[in-house]
Structure 1
Amino acid sequence: MSLDGDVFVVEWEHGAAVLKQCVPCRKKAEGVFAVPATYANAYRLASRVPYASWDDDAKEAAAALHDAAVHRAARVNAVDGLSPAQETGVAWLLSGSGLLADQMGSGKTVQACVALRERSGPVAVVCPNSVVDHWVEHIEKWTGREARAITSAIAPYERPASLRGAVDTDMAVVVPWSQVAGLAKQAAYGHTKLPEQEAGQLPLSETDWDVLIVDEAHRAKNPSAAQTRAVWSIQATTVWALTGTPVSESPLDWWSMLRLIDPRSWPSRTRYANEYCTQTPMFWGGSQWMFGPALPELRQLTDWLMLRRTMDEVIGRHIVKDRTVRKVHLPPKHRKLYDDLRENLLLELQGDVLTLPNALAAATRLQQMAAAHLESDGDGNYRMCMPSPKCEMLAAIVDELGDEQLVVMSSSKQLLHLASAKIAAAGYTTAEVSGDVTGDARTGEIAAFQSGERQIMFATTGAGGEGIDLSAASRMVMLQRPYSLVQSAQAEDRVRRWTQEKGAVEIIDVVTADTVDERIRVALQAKSTTASQITGAEVLQLL
């Protein structure tokens, strides 16, 4: 065994088959392999083969790989101020394609940008709209390379030329999820027949990228969605997928991650489902996917493709997440209206009248009524209005905190605006991140909050739940949780991040007693348990 620059030469006759499957390597001769000298190789090998079953050669090779990686990571990151675990994450990324699934707030963007310094070819980043500027700034800061954002600020007919110009001048390209379908052809899926305009070459899919970074990669979970198929069509030597929530609603989400990272090994969703999942009947006649008895085999095959650490492991210190539930109660008249609506919906369901779309609309209506009074416009449309027991509880919480900063999250924009108006009327300074606040205005709202200029940040879980840093506050009020596990978990970690200076954060759930709020918490916990079968730890611990 010998170390030749960044390549470790391993003579490993007995474990040759295992070595070839588990680490990126090139065969030099019979029983001799050239392996990139990174800690990730040893990590991935250990994930695939129980250490107790290794022979002496395997253990010696893994130890040497680890030693080589320590020196390499020290050389790459000596002046960056990264934690040892973040240095390991950089080395892991440099070993090949994979999913960096560190817990939200652990600095995945920084790790990816530092790793990019070791790559010299074209780079494309696909990320949420809210963090496009964040990616541009970090790429330029950590790599010294210019980056160009291809956003809606550029006229549609100018975007292809702008993207090609960036590639020609060795600039990294950052594309928001909302634009990717218009800049890349749509990859085929199943029996989908591509229209001519989708099958044609577009700038993202005509370039041979060195690295493709897919931030918040869980957004590519729906194989029928145009943006998912667009990302699939982007050809890259290495794909780095970043998300703290790789499995959100179903075991099929995990196949979507595998298809993104390693499409040659995981081309068929149907085959994956048949081998590793089972279907369970549901109350309303549908079915849901669950992991099947072959889950251990699936873990053995795929664990080496994912690096997952808790935020505490990554940053080297423990930030406690305390949880508090503040229960509110509906006034008698409001309670009667809520109970009547729930009974009517149950009667419709038992009579097989309620279709799935109507069921979702009904659940939303119940959630609205659990939060505030509803007013009808006479055409079947309703809007939330005062009085709202949740807004009253929020006002009490804000009064308790005095001058302390606070983040308020809600899945409902109507409820968010009700609450924001009430708090602003009491004399508090507020900021907002929602679908109504975009571009530079959103960046300005976040900056005003982080600098302390605004005391209370109001954000929807859809617009403010991903990619942004709100760590100026150590407390968050979840005024209304979404049904989505991803949005719920991502939202919480806007305050619990590696930039958080306090040793603890508090998540305060405002829950209306004996309503759908309680059912949502139970459902989210069940989804978290399913996700933990892949990630190894609960994404949320609500109950």
Structure 2
Amino acid sequence: LSAFFILTAVTLTLSILLVLSVSSRKCLTATCMPEEFANLLIGKMPKKRRPELRAVTFETVANIHRAMQSCPSEDEETAPPSGLTSSLMLHQRQALTWLLWREEQIPSGAILADDMGLGKTLSMLSLIVASNGLPQEKLQTRRNNLECMARRDGLAPSKGTLIICPTSILHQWELEIKQRVSPGLLRVCVHHGQKRKSDAWRLATYDVVITTYRILSSGLSKGKKEPKECDFEGPLFSILRNRIILDEAHTIKSPSTGSAQACYRLEALSRWALTGTPIHNNVKDLYSLLKFLRFRPFDDYQVWKTWMEVETDTGLNRTLSVVNSILLRRTKDQQTACGRPLISLPPKQVVVRKLALTTVEKDVYARMFVASRLYVEKFLANGVDVEAERHLGRLPQASHPRNVRGRFIKEELLQADFVFSFSGNTRAPTSKGSGKMQIIVTLLRLRQACCHMALVKQAVDLDALKGDSIEMDFERQFKELSFVEDYEDVGSHAVDQLLDESFESCKVKALIDTIIDVQKSAKEEHPKFVVVSEWVGLLDVISHHLRNNEITFTSITGPVPPEERTKRVERFNNLSSDPQVMLLSLTAGGVGLNLVGGNHLFILDLHWNPALELQAADRVHRLGQTRPVFIHNGNGRFCKFVCVDTIEERVLALQEKKLQLAHSVLTGVASNSMKALSLNDLRFLFDLDISPSTPTEHQVRRCIFF
């Protein structure tokens, strides 16, 4: 029997694993010894766990093998089910075939990673409706399994579907069901607000329950600072459902968060994750999705870490193998088997904008950058080396910032007067964690300075951040900001003007001028504009200048309630009326919103996570858009205004790495050269030369995550 499983696994691996390295192929032969095969498959594991993990892995391989034998072809279609009032496009009919197939596999469910704007919501609604029309025998078998498991675990059985989504699109799901499904076919409950139902058995009677990640994570037991799956209580955790759908599933990409732990805790026969951006920063983002899907043994972090995160071609190919067996992804620029576009959208034109800081902005920014770079040099010299040596062996010796780059730092750099001074910037960080946090805030301030100096009125007090971990919520960090004095040699009056929101920074001027020019142009009728920023403070500055120029606008940020968001979106999408501009915060507007009324998109500030920008851009260029779309940015792709000769140009280069990683993994051609922000990345950001003795990224990696 053991030989049979080994032979089956070898045959499967040779046939369905995507791209194996030469060394891997040599291991996978008919003469491969069991121990060698286990090492390839599982990686290094404690001996006491090896038999168990090997057995589970063989079982998983056998399940994948059986599944792939019955996998439908890419062009196989399923007709829209009775009860769905909307027609399905070709790619959605093909998706329905795959969705129905995956619900019969182990694990039941998968990841639908279609590009943003391709109608994943409608695809899932078609699955919900179609599953109710399955042959009676299949339905009865599934219901029997549901009731048997519910009795065993003491849960309320529900043949319905639980949908979990961000607050911003809660009512959009409800509206989609009303518009796309025959009236009375599905009983829907929106589980939100203070008056939400608290009885599990009542909730179990609904066909569809829609709630948010925030409501779900609110079930955390009181007094639990570090949530675990067993620490959640409430009606949502007392039901065994037929199906769970996570919309914008990348929300749970960090496994330690309350939202992720709460999602793991839920019980269902089938589990689905919807996300157009399954990878934001690195391949590890996929682990949380597999854990939610309960894809054994890869939902065990120790297995994932040694099996998937091994930074070799083999490790990446393992990840590709598993992910591609449970992930369906189509993109907007993809073509059908007949050579036609997957969907028909109006053209999208990218307008490249490179901006130069004004003279006074450039002066202040330069002083901030010099002060920041000096601190990073000290961090690299004194803050990291000791910790890195403990784990990674020899690193270049440096006891003073002058030695970091193998040359002396000019005395005038060490003695520079800084407009924005960091308290404690002359001392090296006392711990690795505090140093990371301080550098993150330093980088944040430099990025903000590129947008408008009003955002950096308060310089960060580094002493207040000492001892804080890298993952601490930024909002709490901002509360600890302290004022510092302005240096008069810059010009007190000039600095006062610079820090006022009425000052027209280079980005504000470019934005307002472009909007006015487009409005005056006779080429477009009723142009509308979406302005995106990570910082609400910058949107407040923009709103001041829009008012001064009598340009009507509305906004969607975190505090706006779901009902009000829906109203604002509807008003904006009405081309015959105001407002002309939608101000959108990156986190609140990056998911689920349909802003097809807008045809000009401005992304004002660079974010470490380029996937968030892609999401924001696809609020406009998506199904339902009828006009050409203009993306105003700084590099010819989905980016933003970029100030030349600033840190933004370097952040842009790092963004490209992350985008290449996501593209490579999702297209099956992973590259091992894409890493998280490392020591060398920091040196690159701050224009610090890398000496021959400097460790490579492979030696010192993941110093800081963003």
Question: More strand per residue: 1 or 2?
Answer: 1
CA drift of 1:446 comes to: 1.1
CA drift of 1:494 comes to: 0.6
Q: Which amino acid aligns with 1:360?
A: I
Of 172, 175, 189 in structure 2, the residue corresponding to residue 148 of structure 1 is 189
Question: CA-to-partner distance for each residue in 1:269-326, whole Å, 9 max, x for gaps?
Answer: 2322222324xxxxxxxxxxx6743322332232020000012448522544332221
Question: CA-to-partner distance for each residue in 1:411-432, whole Å, 9 max, x for gaps?
Answer: 1111111112212321221110
1:460–1:427 CA distance, 2 compared to 1 (3 A): same
Aligned match of 1:393: 510
1:65-144 paired onto structure 2 within 5 Å: 66=73, 70=77, 72-73=78-79, 80-95=86-101, 96=103, 97-120=109-132, 121-143=159-181, 144=185
Aligned-partner Cα distance in 2 for 1:321–1:298:
33
Q: Answer yes or no: is 1:361 the counterpart of 2:441.
A: yes
TM-score, scaled relative to structure 2:
0.61
Q: Indicate the SS of the match to 2:354.
A: strand
Aligned match of 2:218: 182
Aligned-partner Cα distance in 2 for 1:202–1:437:
26
- Residues 91, 115 of structure 1: 8 Å contact kept: no
1:377–1:241 CA distance, 2 compared to 1 (3 A): closer
Of 539, 560, 564 in structure 2, the residue corresponding to residue 437 of structure 1 is 560
Q: Answer yes or no: is 1:219 the counterpart of 2:251.
A: yes
Q: Indicate the SS of the match to 1:408.
A: strand
1:17–1:141 CA distance, 2 compared to 1 (3 A): farther
Q: Answer yes or no: is 1:245 the counterpart of 2:251.
A: no
Question: CA-to-partner distance for each residue in 1:156-212, whole Å, 9 max, x for gaps?
Answer: xx5423x642323x24111111111124789x9xxx7859xx536432222111010
Q: Which amino acid aligns with 2:307?
A: E
Q: Which amino acid aligns with 2:662?
A: A
1:338–1:377 CA distance, 2 compared to 1 (3 A): closer
Q: Answer yes or no: is 1:254 the counterpart of 2:266.
A: no
Comparing 128-137 and 199-208, the one that deviates more = 199-208
1:522–1:159 CA distance, 2 compared to 1 (3 A): farther
Aligned match of 1:541: none
Aligned match of 1:475: 600
Aligned-partner Cα distance in 2 for 1:295–1:407:
38
1:79–1:315 CA distance, 2 compared to 1 (3 A): farther
- Residues 185, 230 of structure 1: 8 Å contact kept: no
Whichever of the two has the greater Rg, that structure is: 2
Q: Which amino acid aligns with 1:367?
A: R
Aligned-partner Cα distance in 2 for 1:129–1:215:
11
- Residues 93, 240 of structure 1: 8 Å contact kept: no
Aligned-partner Cα distance in 2 for 1:471–1:117:
27
Q: Indicate the SS of the match to 2:131.
A: coil
Q: Which amino acid aligns with 1:358?
A: Q
Aligned-partner Cα distance in 2 for 1:276–1:320:
39
1:66–1:478 CA distance, 2 compared to 1 (3 A): closer
- Residues 252, 259 of structure 2: 8 Å contact kept: yes
1:481–1:376 CA distance, 2 compared to 1 (3 A): closer
Aligned-partner Cα distance in 1 for 2:592–2:518:
26
Q: Which amino acid aligns with 2:168?
A: S
Q: Answer yes or no: is 1:233 the counterpart of 2:233.
A: no
Q: Answer yes or no: is 1:424 the counterpart of 2:461.
A: no
- Residues 125, 215 of structure 1: 8 Å contact kept: yes
Q: Answer yes or no: is 1:167 the counterpart of 2:173.
A: no
Question: CA-to-partner distance for each residue in 1:66-113, whole Å, 9 max, x for gaps?
Answer: 59953x435569963211111111222222201110001111011101
Question: CA-to-partner distance for each residue in 1:420-475, whole Å, 9 max, x for gaps?
Answer: 22123212211101124223222221111011331111101111111001111222
Q: Indicate the SS of the match to 1:104.
A: coil
Aligned-partner Cα distance in 1 for 2:377–2:245:
47
Of 634, 646, 652 in structure 2, the residue corresponding to residue 521 of structure 1 is 652
Q: Which amino acid aligns with 1:154?
A: Q
Aligned-partner Cα distance in 1 for 2:121–2:295:
24
- The alignment-based identity, stated in percent, is 21
Aligned-partner Cα distance in 2 for 1:266–1:181:
24
CA drift of 1:384 comes to: 6.6
Of 346, 350, 357 in structure 1, the residue corresponding to residue 377 of structure 2 is 350
Aligned-partner Cα distance in 2 for 1:381–1:203:
47
1:194–1:88 CA distance, 2 compared to 1 (3 A): closer
Q: Which amino acid aligns with 2:93?
A: E
Q: Which amino acid aligns with 1:523?
A: L
Aligned match of 2:643: 512
- Residues 80, 87 of structure 2: 8 Å contact kept: no
Q: Aligned Cα RMSD in Å? A: 3.3
Q: Answer yes or no: is 1:297 the counterpart of 2:335.
A: no
Q: Which runs of 5+ in 2 are unaligned?
A: 1-7, 17-60, 104-108, 133-158, 335-340, 380-427, 430-434, 460-480, 485-498, 520-525, 634-639, 670-706
Comparing 482-491 and 137-146, the one that deviates more = 137-146
CA drift of 1:380 comes to: 2.0
Q: Which amino acid aligns with 1:94?
A: L
Q: Which amino acid aligns with 2:510?
A: M
Q: Indicate the SS of the match to 2:118.
A: coil
Q: Indicate the SS of the match to 1:311.
A: coil
- Residues 139, 146 of structure 1: 8 Å contact kept: no
Comparing 345-354 and 401-410, the one that deviates more = 345-354
Q: Which amino acid aligns with 1:127?
A: C
Aligned match of 2:353: 326
Q: Which amino acid aligns with 1:178?
A: R
Aligned match of 2:363: 336
Aligned-partner Cα distance in 2 for 1:477–1:483:
17
- Residues 170, 562 of structure 2: 8 Å contact kept: no
Comparing 256-265 and 221-230, the one that deviates more = 256-265
TM-score, scaled relative to structure 1:
0.78
Q: Which amino acid aligns with 2:174?
A: V
Aligned match of 2:417: none
Q: Answer yes or no: is 1:309 the counterpart of 2:330.
A: yes
Aligned-partner Cα distance in 2 for 1:112–1:184:
28
1:482–1:537 CA distance, 2 compared to 1 (3 A): farther
Q: Indicate the SS of the match to 1:240.
A: strand
Q: Which amino acid aligns with 2:353?
A: R
CA drift of 1:146 comes to: 2.6
Aligned-partner Cα distance in 1 for 2:307–2:668:
23
- Residues 214, 240 of structure 1: 8 Å contact kept: yes
Q: Indicate the SS of the match to 1:470.
A: coil
1:84–1:376 CA distance, 2 compared to 1 (3 A): closer
Aligned-partner Cα distance in 2 for 1:361–1:137:
40
Q: Which amino acid aligns with 2:542?
A: A
1:294–1:16 CA distance, 2 compared to 1 (3 A): closer
Q: Answer yes or no: is 1:373 the counterpart of 2:453.
A: yes
1:200–1:82 CA distance, 2 compared to 1 (3 A): closer
Aligned match of 1:451: 574
Q: Aligned pair count?
A: 467
CA drift of 1:349 comes to: 1.4
Comparing 174-183 and 497-506, the one that deviates more = 497-506
Aligned match of 1:26: none
